[in-house]
Amino acid sequence: MPDALADAPDDLTRRVRDLVAAGAWPDVVRLLDGMPRGATSELLLLRAEALTRVGDARTARMWLYEMIPALIARSDRASHRRALNLLGAACFYLGELAEASDAFAAALEMATEEDDLLIFARATNNLGMIANLRGHHESALGHYRLAVPTYQRLGQRRGVAESYHNIAITYRDLGKLAEADEYERRAMDYAAEGVAPRVAAMGMIGRAEIALRRGDPQLARGTSERAAAELERLHDPVNEADARRLAATAAAELGQFDDAESAFEHALSVARTGGHALIEAETLRDRARVYLTRGRQTEARRDAEAAVALFERLGAASEVTALRKMMSG
């Protein structure tokens, strides 16, 4: 057991809270390594959140499965529903959508019963993400439109920013780029002034994606690379990988294929290490498109088939259809 755990609980909790406030999630993971399941509920949850933040969804899921029975035994329902929401997030990252949906729904039910508006908003927002991935865009928008006023009522600017970013993704998937760009702007406004720097950087990725779809790979590359640098500073490897994926796609459109190859490899390495199925699938999809345009049929088919398998697991039927059409065209 690390020496830090020999501290008095109040001292340890204070140190962890300071690290969380500073966004030093890797330090939180190190400090709480080896923590027993008998620790305080707050520390149990913060370890789970820290593991998720640094991209280790597998360990986060395992930890949550182990600690939830302890929370139930303590009759700590507030921590239990928060743990369920975190479990849903870990399962979502791992591509276990049925398990994620069940966890979010259970958290939402508990939050509704006990008037926990924050978990209500978070679980609702998260269920919207699953609906959107499955192609149920109107259902996703309905979830987000419930989450936004709840976050506003709580004065939760970060939550509003996250929901607006998710709305932007849905509009982008619908091909409504003007609406998508407007909601990314709103997300970044709510995330400004240090309120939610991670969400602000995610908004940059979203705007870079829109720029790419509008035919401006130069803007897309510059914006996504700035987002990647910011997310690296914030110790957010998963969203950094997403930014690298987009930068790779933009670089390829600019004919800078060596840069594209390197960025694609970085994104895939992070996604596979952490088990992040959606980012792996999107990276393979985008690289397959690049290979196809370069006449590298064997590599394109390899990546497309791997992406199809992941998207099928995620229930992203429209992505599967588009990839199969691309490879048969």
Cα 154 from chain centre = 23
pLDDT tens, position by position, 252-284: 999 999 999 999 999 999 999 989 999 999 999
Report the pLDDT value the prediction gives residue 6, as an integer from 0 to 100: 42
Lowest mean pLDDT among 4-13, 65-74, 145-154, 310-319: 4-13
- Residues 314, 278: contact at Cβ < 8 Å? yes
Mean predicted confidence (pLDDT) in 220-232: 97
**Long-range Cβ pairs for the range 10-15 (8 Å, 24+):** 12/43, 13/40, 13/42, 13/43
Q: What is the pLDDT of residue 35?
A: 84
Question: For the chain, where are the alpha helices, taking DSSP H only?
Answer: 9-21, 25-31, 41-53, 57-73, 77-93, 97-114, 117-133, 137-154, 157-173, 177-191, 197-213, 217-233, 237-253, 257-274, 277-293, 297-314, 317-328
Q: Predicted confidence band at 156 (pLDDT cuts at 50, 70, 90)?
A: very high
- The residue assigned the tokens 């209500």 is 120
Q: For residue 38, what pLDDT is reported?
A: 81
Beta strands in the chain (DSSP E): none
How much is the pLDDT for 9? 54
- What's the whole-number average pLDDT of the chain? 94
Is residue 166 within 8 A of residue 125, CB to CB? The reply is yes
Read off the pLDDT of each residue in 22-36 and give the average, rounded to a whole number: 92
**How much is the pTM?**
0.93
Give the contacts of 295 (CB within 8 A, at least 6 positions apart): none
Instruction: Give the closest residue to 228 by CA, choosing from 204, 261, 194, 212.
Output: 204
- What are the φ and ψ backbone dihedral angles of 270, each rounded to 5 degrees? -65, -45
Q: Could you tell me how many residues make up the chain?
A: 329
Share of the chain above pLDDT 90, in %: 92
Q: What's the confidence (pLDDT) of residue 2?
A: 41
* pLDDT tens-place string over residues 61-103: 999 999 999 999 999 999 999 999 999 999 999 999 999 999 9
pLDDT in tens, 192-205: 988 999 999 999 99
Give pLDDT, residue 81. 97
pLDDT of 36 over the 50 cut: yes
Domains for the chain: give ranges and CATH numbers: 1-95+109-114 (1.25.40)
